[in-house]
A and B are shown apart, each in its own frame.
Chain A
Amino acid sequence: MKKLALFLAFILLFGLFCGCARRGGKDSVTLNVLNWGDYIDEDLLKQFEAETGIYVNYTTMATNEEMLVKLQQPDCIYDICFPSDYIIEKLVADDLLYALNKDNIPNMQHIDGRFLDLSFDPGNEYSVPYMWGTVGILYNTTLVDDPVDSWDILWNEKYSGQILMYDSIRDTMGVALLKLGHSINTREQSDILDAEAALIEQKPLVLAYLGDPIKDRMIAGGGALAIVYSGDAMWCIDENPDLAYAVPATGTNLWFDNIIIPKTSQHTAEAEAFINFLCNPEVAAQNAEYIGYSTPNSAALEIMGEDYIDNPTYNPSQELLDKCDIFHDLGNFINVYNDSWNRVKSFVG
């Protein structure tokens, strides 16, 4: 009897783990996709499933670092992922990415040449650009009467308790480094300490350090100034016309989110079909219009029309882009950033 009970207990537990069986029968493949929240038009997933018979199991996460931890697991289950530039550099260095077979991704020809062959993945051996943009200041024109043309405005005491900062190490440390005129990829300890001091000085003025909820707070009029990605700015301005987006002319962080296939993937051909699908101009246009982020797909941008092409938030001038920097992986030096960030976050005046 005891043995039977023990046996039943194990069966129950076993069933728990097997409960997540794949949909659609034995032969169909399921792709595990890990993406940022609100970062794909989910109707397109259904369209992809209908067109190819490949199922998509869609999951989301909130930060690049969280994604990195998941991709570093030896038993990583994901087939498609959308990390940013500096994470790709790290993933390539750690040999965690699958080298793409470009013959399976003919739609890559639609990607603007400006966004190919970038420093984090020369020759696009492992990644295809998905979305790109800048980091800038979203402000509420009814609450801010100074010109928003420099990072210093985020340190202006007039806006005390109305400033929202990003709860993300590289982005927020990056803004402080830009304000001080340092490189956002600096490996000088003294630069980092300067940035830390600036952020601690700013902390009493900060309403909160948030992730995605920044968008809701700004739309609801809960803050005067916020650090946001350009794509989020597009979306917020759409929801609340009092908002505006500005990038200081001195330059900012230019970022790319890219589609990759982890080396552990068992379904690389299907994953490549998924990438090819997302690079289809019609699909990319629908997706970019839904998300509001800038697409690197020039054929898609044509379809989207002048409203997008002439919008400086969506499609910033080459002159500005030339002044911008892409994040690089900092190797072990990131620990210096982490320690400084911990001191900023735990500081109470």
Chain B
Amino acid sequence: MTADRGPVSAAEDGEARFSTWTGKTRGWALRRLPPDKLLPEGQPSYVSSWIYVFGMGAVAAFVYILGSGAVLALNGPTWFHVSGLGRFINSTHLWSVELFFMFMVIHLWGKFWMAAWRGGRALTWITGMLAFVVSIVTAFTGYLLQTNFDSQWIAFQAKDALNAVGVGAWFNVADLGQILMWHITLLPLAVAVVVALHVVLVRMHGVVPPLEAATSDAQLRSAAPIPAVDGEDMK
């Protein structure tokens, strides 16, 4: 640690260089995801297709799921059985989940048939699949919280499968309190984090061009070049 050294010193090319870990982190983040890529003003012309709207449609449905889920959680797991408003909110919570999965599956089909993992987008593809899997687990815990004979039937069918793989003692589908906590805290947080990472990766690498596009990636080529060595500024 040197007291006489400023946090920022001029580099040879005139670009601000950083010496502290916070500054280095900022420099790395700004180079990988500059503000014009994080919040772009426009998109490439090939994005003008309905097949590109389903990802954001899924995100919109997810936002409503979180809002309606918060109302349901704050009123308790049996409120929607005795309240007209509760029944309405519970119904829209279910239907927004239906839309979330339908949009996500159509998004998956579209991206699969355009081989969207091209151009260094493997991690984007992986986080998308992870979001799908975690969402299925979250929806499963939601079905367990219906507090009716349907949820009881689902729980007692699922417990055999979970016991068979050895996780039944820690993930007990017959324990309403435990499943409620999984459904309203950990799992929504996990979905939100994975979806946020997925969207950030889309911003970093740009929307994947169609297979027949002549250019490999117009958005990346028009952006500032990324240094060959990612950790260059960490030296």
Asked if A and B bind, the verdict is: no
B interface list, Cβ under 8 A from A: none
A interface list, Cβ under 8 A from B: none
